Amino acid sequence: MKLILCYVSTCLLGIFFSGCLGINGKAKPVHFYVLHSVEKPFALSVSGVDFPGGLGVGVVELPEYLKTDKLVKRVSVDELEYAEYNRWAEPLATGLTRTLTENIRRLTHFQQVAMAPWRLADGHAYVLSVVVEDATLHPEGKVVLSARWMLREGSRICLNAEEVIEQKVTHDDPNAYAAALSDIWGLFAERVALKLVDCEPLVSAVKSSISLSDGF
């Protein structure tokens, strides 16, 4: 009986370690991914609009299930799959905040665009806050981004909107997912920047700045 138990235990250990090792007996490598800002010009550029003051980009908020270094794939509406060997090289919230700041900086002409944390003395008149609700690879072969954002000037809310962006991926792999998330995050920044042009407080501030510079 003891021999049988010993044999079973050995088999189970073998199955366990075979899952951690590759075919040749070596440990499976862990791959790390980062988000990138969009380098190509956007289809619609608003960089010609000069906004007075500075813009502070707050840390992007994520749902609890995305607060992990593992890439997340949605198997169904109610089921998620975490990739053990495919991970983010930096916290996802940090990567999203960093690239959003870079994209907004390229799209707009604020005097300064800074990523949180920033000093109050830096004079950021406006603050952009973003809450991501979904940023996963869906089973139908598309990356879905759902996010709410708000632009504030002090305690006053200047803009409040929600964006949903989807992008098909040709391959169901981590590289395609990371690249697609970077692309649609760039499109998200473009939509935000385009709405800034129609923001009444910002438009008024631009007009006021122009009037003062003209000596009126």
pLDDT tens, residue by residue, 95-128: 999 999 999 988 887 778 888 877 655 666 789 9
pLDDT of 10 higher than 60 = no
Give the CA-trace dihedral at 67, 118, 130, 73, to 10 degrees. -30
Rg for the chain, CA atoms, rounded: 23
Q: Which residues of 189-205 are buried (b: 16+ CB within 10 A; e: fewer)?
A: bbebbebbeebebbeeb
- The CATH homologous superfamily for domain 28-213 is ABC-type transport auxiliary lipoprotein component (3.40.50.10610)
Q: Are 123 and 154 in contact (CB under 8 A)?
A: no
Q: Among candidates 166, 203, 196, 202, which has minimal Cα distance to 181?
A: 166
For residues 173-184, give the mean pLDDT.
Answer: 94
The predicted structure's pLDDT at residue 111? 78
For 26-39, the pLDDT digits (tens) are 788 999 999 999 87
Q: For all residues of the chain together, what is the average pLDDT? A: 80
pLDDT of 77 higher than 60 = yes
